[in-house]
Structures are given as C-alpha cells and as structure tokens.
C-alpha cells in the first residue's frame, strides 16, 4: 500500500459539485500516474471546504479502484486535502494595476529618464 501526493490548480475542467446525503460537496479529479499506453490515470477526492478556480491544492492518500460496468473509477480513500494557495476574490484588472515606465504613468510625463552608468547601483 502506497500513499500518492499530488498538487493541482483548481479549474473548471477538474472540479465538479455533487449532491451527497450531507449536502453539496466539491470533487477534484487529478492525474496521478500514466498507464501502459501513456495516458494519464485520474483519481478523485472530495474537498470538505469551498474551493474556487485558481486555488492550488495538495491531495495525499491511498487510491482505490472500483469497476463500474466497463469503466474503472479511481478515488482517494481518506485523503488529506490542503489548500496551498488561495486565489484572490477579485483579480486585479490591467486598468487598476500601476503601469510604471509607460507613457500612461503620470510620474514619467512621457519623457525618458537619462542616467549615466556611474549612477546605477549595479
């Protein structure tokens, strides 16, 4: 029995919401290993906290495979899911970001800054 640990970034393709007896839960599917044909084998894990697109998660645990008709489903058994990075709620748009060194910068007035090599610290 081995433990597999993967790190993934949450996106629309690898996350879905499912209804359980305890309410809605989010499920993340991640690639864990390549099979003999070179295709990725994916495993799923329930996430007990809310995740958003852009969050980075580390999932660690034992993987169990169950046959469902012609398909085989892999899932983490008692996984440890930790958030390593949380995307900010409102991404900064380019209009609010400072644009230093450009003509739109009010401090530059559109004129280049002339420095001699002796004035540079490097």
Q: pLDDT (tens digit, 9 = 90+) per residue, 27-61?
A: 999 999 888 999 999 999 999 898 999 999 999 99
Q: Is residue 80's pLDDT more than 70? A: yes
Model pLDDT, residue 91: 53
Given pLDDT bands bounded at 50, 70 and 90, which one contains residue 13? very high
Token pair recorded at residue 40:
């990725």
Q: Is residue 15's pLDDT more than 80? A: yes
Predicted model pTM: 0.65
Query: Which CATH number describes the domain made up of 4-85?
Result: 2.40.50.400
Nearest to 14 by CA among 51, 39, 49, 68: 51
Of the two residues 95 and 64, the one the predictor is more confident about is 64
Given pLDDT bands bounded at 50, 70 and 90, which one contains residue 98? low
**Cβ distance 74 to 19 under 8 Å?**
no
Q: Is residue 84's pLDDT more than 80? A: yes
Average pLDDT over residues 68-78: 87
What are the backbone angles phi and psi of residue 75, rounded to the nearest 5°? Answer: -145, 150
């Amino acid at each position: 029995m081995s433990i597999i640990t993967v790190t993934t970034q949450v996106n629309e393709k690898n996350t879905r919401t499912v209804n359980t007896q305890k309410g809605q839960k989010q499920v993340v599917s991640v690639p864990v290993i390549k099979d003999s044909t070179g295709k990725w084998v994916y495993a799923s894990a329930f996430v007990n906290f809310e995740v958003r697109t852009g969050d980075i998660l580390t999932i660690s645990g034992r993987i169990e495979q169950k046959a469902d008709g012609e398909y085989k489903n892999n899932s983490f058994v008692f996984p440890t899911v930790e958030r390593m990075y949380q995307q900010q709620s409102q991404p900064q748009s380019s209009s609010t970001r400072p644009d230093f060194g450009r003509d739109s910068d009010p401090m530059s007035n559109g004129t280049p800054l002339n420095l001699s090599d002796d004035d540079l610290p490097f």
